[in-house]
Structure 1
Amino acid sequence: MAMHWVASSWSAPEEWDFVEYEVPRPGVGEVTIEVHAAGVNPADAKHVAGPRPGVELPVAIGYEVSGVISAIGPDTTIGSGPAEIGDEVIAFRVSGGYATALTIPAEKAFAKPTPLSHPEAANLLLAGTTAAEMLAVTGAAPGETVLLHGASGAVGVSVLQQAALRGIRVIGTAGTSRFDVVRHFGGTPVAYGPGLADRVRAASEGAAVAAALDAVGTAEAVDVSLELVADRARIVTIAAMGRAEADGILAIAGSMPASARFRDDIRGELVRLAQNGELVVPLARTFPLDEAPAALALLTEGHPGGKLALIPAR
């Protein structure tokens, strides 16, 4: 029997259950993946912390994985094309990735980029598609300067890489201990805190700040974005939904239909970039699958220094 993590009540990770379950055999248009690594994201806990419209308990946890196809339905191809048992794949926007195995719609699976390890690959697409959408909805263009709040986090690091590939200059906020990360991925770091707007102006060296991307959701991030960017349609947040509604800025989330469509459409491009070595995933640490609550506790504490992954026992 396979094992997976489920939330049987609206609760924190320490109250979830790690239980046996029977993996369905794949039908037409489906594949079964033997999970080698599951990505760990804040949304994994956030989305079962309280009731959500249209979601019923129990909820299987986890949105992205990397592994090997162990079974494939008849007349089935995956998102990246033909596939066979034994192929290494990644999958994103799945339900129940914190598992030893799972059966999913085949279109959600893509050939794993060979430069990435399974723990790295399992963390490519949630952060990567979010970053891509932030750049897209703000219309960030080559030659422009943009402000990125939370530049050293998972989404921020992907924004930095994708922006650099397009010739977009990024001024990124971070703690001083993380400035080297921002610089490594092509950004200009500035410290958050009082005086942030003036530090951004100095770092821009006279260039207008064309857009602002908020990956942290603090009042400071939104306030400074509003101060520096004239067009509110070029300010986006993934974490300050209340401010978005109140101040007329953009908000995106994977649960929004437009965001879901964009993120599905961009998956193949991000996989291609990773295959070419143009998009990497900094990994901080792995945990055994049965220690998922400990991994999420570390993530909640703030800055683990990179992505986290859960590894099923073999």
Structure 2
Amino acid sequence: MTQDTMKAVRIHAFGGPEVLRYEDAPRPTLKPGEVLVRVHAVALNPPDWYLRDGYRSLPADWRPPVDLPVIPGSDVSGVVAAVAADVTALAVGDEVFGMVKFPSFGESAAYAEYVAAPVTDLARKPAAVDHAHAAGAAMAGLTAWQFLIELGHDEPNPFQPASHRPVPLSGQQVLINGAGGGVGHLAIQLAKRAGAEVIAVASGRHEQFVRDLGADRFIDYTVTPPETVARDLDLVLDTLGGPTTARFLRTLKRGGALFPVYPLGFDGADEAARLGITVSSTQVRSSGSQLEALSRLLAEGRLRVAIDTTFALADARQAHERAARGGIQGKIILKVA
């Protein structure tokens, strides 16, 4: 390996975890406005396996073109190794974390020893938080923040004509489905900080975990379908989404809101209109300024990231296999030597 190359995980053909290959790859070069980050940790997210699988879960006309080979991943924490000539906000040696170039459909390239990142996608890593936990805060934290607290951009929404609008949370009853996962466990904490009463839905093994994060009530979906017991809610954040999210309409009061993180497959628009319920979603986007807000909460101990399992970068296949088994508590992390 030379100074022009690095170790990375690349995909040469779409498929299951077996297509992830740990190998030499060209080290990225910087464009204006970018910094080169020496990666210490990478967090896994669902878009990683959507890309690995060739976006086959999307409708055919939604599948973006991807040039192979491609390096998956978006969430990193590491140290600035070089800066473009026009960058003044960060310097070599700064510790940073972020969600890089998302959504970019294959340009993020985070499963690697080095990543080229727009300076606007990054925030300074809190000194008291290690790289693994900082990486885990990026996409999951931004998703929870943009759905619940502040959208923070005016980019077109691919899922609906109107922009997504978070709703006031103080004094509201909020149900979070998938509460033990990456987005869910951070959403609990943000909703509680905003003054909501939080009902967490997850399997029984997560009960103590989500209660420790601040959940006021818990529903074990393996025992009791949440839509049969939850009533008169103000907001449901369904971190899983998909075809089953319409079942939560019956849990909401008139004027309430249903926010599916994955809205494709939702078929309850007519019922939502009849019940006076707002259904809204959005595409999470990179934001260094929002990460700075999350960074302050992490530094003060008012937001914490849980790690499910940790793997070496070379073991990305095993990490994806762990993700496929489900039941994740927090985040799966790749550590880069």
TM-score, scaled to structure 1: 0.86
Q: Give matches, 1:160-179, under 5 Å.
A: 160-179=188-207
Change (3 A) 1:55 1:142: same
**CA shift for structure 1 position 265:** 5.3
Give the Cα separation in 2 of the matches to 1:245 and 1:7: 37
Q: 3-state DSSP class of the match of 1:212? A: strand
Is this contact kept in 1: 2:35–2:116, CA < 8 A?
yes
Q: 3-state DSSP class of the match of 2:170? A: coil
Pick the aligned partner of 1:12 from 11, 16, 19: 16
Deviations 1:123-148 (A, max 9, x none): 11100111122224341420111111
Q: 3-state DSSP class of the match of 2:35? A: strand
Give the Cα separation in 2 of the matches to 1:176 and 1:72: 47
| Mapped pair 1:133 → 2:146 | yes
Structure 1 regions of 5+ residues with no counterpart?
A: 202-207, 255-259
**CA shift for structure 1 position 58:** 2.6
| Mapped pair 1:101 → 2:114 | yes
**CA shift for structure 1 position 43:** 1.6
Amino acid paired to 2:311: F
Q: Which moved more, 1:57-66 or 1:13-22?
A: 13-22
Is this contact kept in 2: 1:66–1:112, CA < 8 A?
yes
Is this contact kept in 2: 1:217–1:238, CA < 8 A?
yes
Give the Cα separation in 2 of the matches to 1:60 and 1:28: 21
Q: 3-state DSSP class of the match of 1:243? A: coil
**CA shift for structure 1 position 233:** 6.9
Pick the aligned partner of 1:58 from 56, 60, 69: 69
Percent identical among aligned pairs is 29
In structure 2, what is the equivalent of residue 299 of structure 1? Answer: 323
Pick the aligned partner of 2:307 from 283, 294, 311: 283
In structure 2, what is the equivalent of residue 181 of structure 1? Answer: 209
| Mapped pair 1:196 → 2:226 | yes
Structure 2 regions of 5+ residues with no counterpart?
A: 56-62, 102-107, 150-164, 273-278
Give the Cα separation in 1 of the matches to 2:72 and 2:25: 13
Count of residues paired in the alignment: 296
In structure 2, what is the equivalent of residue 205 of structure 1? Answer: none
**CA shift for structure 1 position 70:** 1.0
| Mapped pair 1:154 → 2:154 | no
In structure 1, what is the equivalent of residue 127 of structure 2? Answer: 114
Give the Cα separation in 2 of the matches to 1:222 and 1:149: 12
Deviations 1:84-113 (A, max 9, x none): 211111121341110011222222221112
TM-score, scaled to structure 2: 0.81
**CA shift for structure 1 position 310:** 0.9
Change (3 A) 1:241 1:75: same
**CA shift for structure 1 position 273:** 1.7
Give the Cα separation in 1 of the matches to 2:258 and 2:76: 31
**CA shift for structure 1 position 237:** 0.6
Give the Cα separation in 1 of the matches to 2:185 and 2:7: 32
| Mapped pair 1:91 → 2:120 | no
Give the Cα separation in 2 of the matches to 1:54 and 1:129: 25
Is this contact kept in 2: 1:113–1:275, CA < 8 A?
yes
Amino acid paired to 1:75: D
Give the Cα separation in 2 of the matches to 1:219 and 1:28: 42
Pick the aligned partner of 1:70 from 52, 64, 81: 81
Give the Cα separation in 2 of the matches to 1:67 and 1:122: 9
Amino acid paired to 2:79: V
Q: 3-state DSSP class of the match of 1:274? A: helix
Amino acid paired to 2:252: V
Give the Cα separation in 1 of the matches to 2:120 and 2:319: 29
**CA shift for structure 1 position 27:** 4.5
Deviations 1:31-50 (A, max 9, x none): 11111111111221112312
Amino acid paired to 1:59: V
Give the Cα separation in 2 of the matches to 1:108 and 1:220: 33
Is this contact kept in 1: 2:122–2:288, CA < 8 A?
no
Amino acid paired to 1:38: V
**CA shift for structure 1 position 171:** 0.6
Q: 3-state DSSP class of the match of 1:6? A: strand
Give the Cα separation in 2 of the matches to 1:195 and 1:121: 34
Change (3 A) 1:266 1:231: farther
**CA shift for structure 1 position 210:** 0.5
**CA shift for structure 1 position 244:** 5.5
Pick the aligned partner of 1:213 from 230, 233, 237: 237
Give the Cα separation in 1 of the matches to 2:82 and 2:7: 17
Amino acid paired to 1:69: V
Q: Which has the higher helix share?
A: 1
Amino acid paired to 1:275: A
